[in-house]
Amino acid sequence: MPAKIRRIGILTGGGDCPGLNAVIRAVTKKAILVHGWEVIGFLDGFHGLVNNRRRRLHYDDVSGILTEGGTVLGTSKTVNPYHYAIKRGNRLAFRDLSRRAVANVRRLKLDGLIVVGGDGTLGIAHRLNEDGVPVVGIPKTIDNDLKGTEVTVGFHSAVRIATDAIDNLHSTAEALHRVMILEVMGHRTGWIALFAGVAGGGDVVLIPEIPFDIRSVAQVLLRRNRFGKRFSIVVAAEGAHPRGGGEVVREMVKESLDPVRLGGIGFALAEDIKKLTALDTRVVVLGHLQRGGTPIAYDRLLATRFGTEAIDLVARGRFGRMAVATGSRVTHAPLSAAAGGFRPIPRGFPLIASARSVGTSFGD
Ligand code: F6P
């Protein structure tokens, strides 16, 4: 029989995304309504766990947040208890403060800790679980690149935002006979670019999983022009790169869980396209708008299903696991599945073939 649960903690780590509040709401409401547990929310991700910054979450605290973007608990992309960055002036030092985090869990008498995050955050959650903290994970990231689950909270809301952007670019591209390049997020994967690119009818979709040849891209654009389509939409994932070439790195954030920040491929493409085609070309970088705003219905449902599944896992003492989605089912998998690495679009992913068959180019 699992030990009696009285009090649990929850934190949101890594980048924010639409649907985090829906997760916090589902976890807290079910913990209170079904089990009568007390819920403690740690502030700003692992920062709150290490420094014991927290607040009690009552039913009323999570009532009315289902539709709100962001996270009422705050989050952080730079706090790793095992490699905790301490800034002294311009100098950066790192210390292992994981024992402090574990001690806080014990001092607060938490019978379970729910960690909501992407690969970096859930990788840390996995280590904490190995170090004796009873952890259950919930996958979220707009990038949809987490191993172990087919979909993450936030992804479809980001796709919706990127698709709306493509829809809006169509009219101005057509009116001025331009090539419009939309650069979208996704880090090292092309999930957002592929889904939004196909949903928005992009003419060329460039993703890291299919390195492009700029001459092929140019040919597609010129061919469209020859056949009377005097505008084109190019959707580029920030991690897209030419065959044999590397990603465009915008900056390195040393204290971050993953220091590489990508960005700039849109402008690099525009330069090359102008040279090779002489077509009037503009660039839009969608950026952090993709992480903002209210979650779409799909993400609210996924967040509710993941949140309530996580509470079941805690109740059954199934620690070291995370809620995952496979097909239309929500089930669970070991946290270790999410740790280390990311999930690219698999070779032979059916949507790629469907897109090709309706004339979408991947620039290869
Ligand atoms: O992981 C989410 C994400 O939005 C990526 O798509 C993007 O590469 C990165 O975070 C941007 O990071 P930051 O918020 O630190 O600029």
Average pLDDT over residues 275-297: 97
Ligand 1 proximity of 126 Cβ (cutoff 6 Å): no
Task: Write down the pLDDT at residue 340.
Answer: 78
* Two tokens, residue 190: 């092309």
Average pLDDT rounded to a whole number, residues 167-195: 98
By most ligand atoms within 8 Å of CB, the mutation choice from 143, 188, 192, 285 for ligand 1 is 143
Q: Is 167 a catalytic residue?
A: no
Which residues lie below 8 Å from residue 275, measured CB to CB, with a gap of 6+?
Answer: none
Q: How far does residue 302's CA lie from ligand 1's centre (Å)? A: 21
Q: What pLDDT, on a 0 to 100 scale, did the predictor assign at position 242?
A: 98
CA of 290 to the centre of ligand 1 (A): 10
The length of the chain in residues reads 364
Q: Is the pLDDT of residue 34 over 90?
A: yes
Give yes or no for residue 205 CB within 6 A of ligand 1. no
pLDDT of residue 1: 62
Dump pLDDT digits (tens) for 99-136. Answer: 999 999 999 999 999 999 999 999 999 999 999 999 99
How many of the other CB atoms lie within 10 Å of CB of 25?
Answer: 25
Q: What is the mean pLDDT of residues 337-358?
A: 95
* Strands (DSSP E) found in the chain: 7-12, 38-42, 54-57, 84-88, 91-95, 112-117, 135-139, 179-184, 204-206, 232-237, 249-252, 260-262, 281-285, 321-326, 329-334
Can you tell me which atom of ligand 1 is nearest the CA of 185?
6
Identified catalytic residue from 111, 143, 203, 299: 143
Ligand 1: residue whose CA is nearest its atom 11: 261
In the prediction, which pLDDT does 125 show? 97
Q: pLDDT tens for residues 138-180?
A: 999 999 999 999 999 999 999 999 999 999 999 999 999 999 9
Location of structure tokens 């839009």: 284
Contact 161, 204 (CB under 8 A): no
Average pLDDT, the chain: 96
Average pLDDT estimate for 323-347: 95
Q: For residue 19, name the pLDDT band (cuts at 50, 70, 90).
A: very high
Atom of ligand 1 nearest to the CA of 142: 2
Res. 256 pLDDT band, cuts 50 70 90: confident
Please state, in angstroms and rounded to a whole number, the distance separating the CA atoms of residues 320 and 339. 12
How large is the average pLDDT for residues 232-251? Answer: 97
Task: Using alpha carbons, select from 122, 38, 43, 112 the residue that is nearest to residue 80.
Answer: 122
Summarised one tens digit per residue, pLDDT across range 265-283 is 999 999 999 999 999 999 9
CA of 291 to the centre of ligand 1 (A): 9
Q: Which of 79, 261, 286 to mutate to test the pocket of ligand 1 (most atoms within 8 A of CB)?
A: 261
Ligand 1 contacts CB of residue 183 (under 6 A) = no
* Predicted local distance difference test score (pLDDT) of residue 2: 72
What is the pLDDT at residue 89? 86
**75/315 Cα distance (integer angstroms):** 26
Average pLDDT of the segment spanning 173-197: 98
- For residue 143, the ligand 1 atom closest to its alpha carbon is 6
Residue 22's nearest CA partner among 307, 293, 289, 290 is: 307
Cα–Cα distance, 282 to 148 (Å, whole number)? 38
Atom of ligand 1 nearest to the CA of 253: 15
User: Ligand 1: distance of its center to the CA of 20 in Å?
Assistant: 16
Asked if pLDDT for residue 255 goes beyond 90, the answer is: no
Position 3 scores a pLDDT of 79
